[in-house]
Amino acid sequence: MHFHDDPKMIFTYLQSQQTAQNFLLECYKQLHDVDAERKSYENCNVFMYCLNHGMEYYRAGEKVDIVLKPVMYFYGMAHLLKACLLIKRPDYPESTSVLAHGVSTRKRKKKDYNFLEDEVKVQYKGLFPYFSEHLFRINKLPFEKITMNDLLRLIPELIPYYDIEQNTSLVKVGKVGENILSIPTLLCDHYHMTENALLKKLNAYVPTIVESRQKAENVIVVLGDALSYTISPFQVDMKENIYLPTDREMFFPISEVMVHYLLLYNLSMLSRYEAEWWGELLATKPDKDYPFISSFLDITQVKIPMIISKFLIKNMTGHN
């Protein structure tokens, strides 16, 4: 049996000083100018506790009322991200500035406040830009502000909600582990691009394009290597289907981890500081904010630990 069969096993495996230290040692050997032996001993306890505390928050979040879930999942996610950062950045946190959230929300809240239209603003310093850069190699964020609706539209599991409203957000184009993309020619219309221009645009994000051909209403793209989890404009669902956004404005490099972090940050702020609005939403369910928020919380509780476990497995050089 491999960790891929049950990704959550990796969290349990790393809950000992010996396994955590060995894991970090192998990771640090891949880095330049790092005393791998010393740093792996220094960091193994905090690495272990970050993983453990993160998963405890998720376990607690599963059991508590929805009123508290955003706070539990946000802090659970922050702990798991800090563990991942220790793999890539042995001296993390290098300064107190990277400990801030790295995001802010607008001052609350007009009487007709609508969650889906609300925005978050990205800060120059703090955890969000720091992990975006060091875990996902995104140095320049593609937006300064973004709405909750635009973020939710990037989550494949929510496609049915947008389909019902005839506002399709993502279209399936492939599967992790396969080397073929099937891109609807309609996307070219949405992006106002020729097929060649779209392929050129995709070239920056996918393995080498070997050939492309037209088949019915799709462009079939054969790649030189299999598709993997990626930070590109592709989004991936829990069954490992790969999607592209239908909106040209949403075609930018972003990891779904970043999407969930921004959504959970805003929801956790509402949960903590907007008791009246949050209580009303959950008690009376007045508008469509409720199904989107409720479904997102169900998805993030499963999906973020799954994505983080895949990240850990991928970094387990010499341990598979």
Q: Does 162 lie in the same domain as 147?
A: no
Helix (H) or strand (E) holding 212: strand 209-215
- Please report the sign of the dihedral spanned by the C-alpha atoms of residue 15, residue 21, residue 27, residue 28: positive
Mean per-residue pLDDT, 231-237: 87
For 93-104, the pLDDT digits (tens) are 998 888 899 999
Beta bridge partners of 170: 245
Mean pLDDT over 275-286 rounds to 87
320: in domain: no
- Asked whether residue 101 falls in the same domain as residue 212, the answer is no
Query: Between residues 268 and 280, which one has the greater pLDDT?
Result: 268
pLDDT-derived band at 2 (thresholds 50, 70, 90) equals low
H helical segments located in 192-251: 195-203
Angle of CA points 280, 60, 4, to nearest 5°: 120
Task: State yes or no: pLDDT of 285 exceeds 90.
Answer: no
Instruction: Give residue 287's pLDDT.
Output: 83
pLDDT of residue 318: 44
> By the 8 A CB rule, do 162 and 218 touch?
no
Percent of the chain with pLDDT over 90: 67
* Residue entry with tokens 């990891």: 255
Considering its fold, how many domains does the chain have in total? 2
Query: What single-letter amino acid sits at 18?
Result: Q
**Are 194 and 305 in the same domain?**
no
DSSP, collapsed to helix, strand or coil, labels residue 170 as strand
In a domain, 319, yes or no: no
The last residue of one of the domains, among 204, 219, 250, is: 250
Q: Give the C-alpha separation, 41 to 170, whole Å.
A: 44
The residue segments making up the domain with residue 287 are 3-154+255-314
Copy the structure tokens of residue 194: 């020729």
Q: Give domain status of residue 193, yes or no.
A: yes
Within 10 Å of residue 250's Cβ, how many Cβ atoms? 20
Tell me what pLDDT residue 320 has. 39
Question: Same domain for 239 and 274?
Answer: no
Distance, C-alpha 294 to centroid of its chain: 18
Query: Of 232, 250, 268, which one is at a domain's C-terminal end?
Result: 250
* Buried-state track 74-108, b at ≥16 Cβ within 10 A, e below 16: bbbbbbbbbbbbbbbbbebeeeeebeebbbbbeee
Residue 49 has pLDDT above 80, yes or no: yes
Does 307 score more than 90 pLDDT?
yes
DSSP structural state of residue 96: G
- The per-residue pLDDT for range 52-84, each reduced to its tens digit, is 999 999 999 999 999 999 999 999 999 999 999
**Pair (209, 307) in one structural domain:** no
pTM of the prediction?
0.94
The verdict on residue 289 lying in a domain is yes
DSSP secondary structure letters along 99-151? GS-SEEEPSP--TT--GGG-EEEE-SSSHHHHHHHHHH---S-S-SEEEHHHH
pLDDT of residue 109: 64
Q: Please tell me whether residues 66 and 211 are part of one structural domain.
A: no
Once rounded to an integer, what is the mean pLDDT over residues 158-175? 89
Mean pLDDT, the chain, whole residue set? 91
Q: What is the pLDDT of residue 139?
A: 87
CB atoms within 10 A of CB 42: 16
Q: Are residues 259 and 150 in the same domain?
A: yes
123 and 244 within one domain: no
Q: Residues 214, 238: one domain?
A: yes
- pLDDT class for 319, splitting at 50, 70, 90? very low
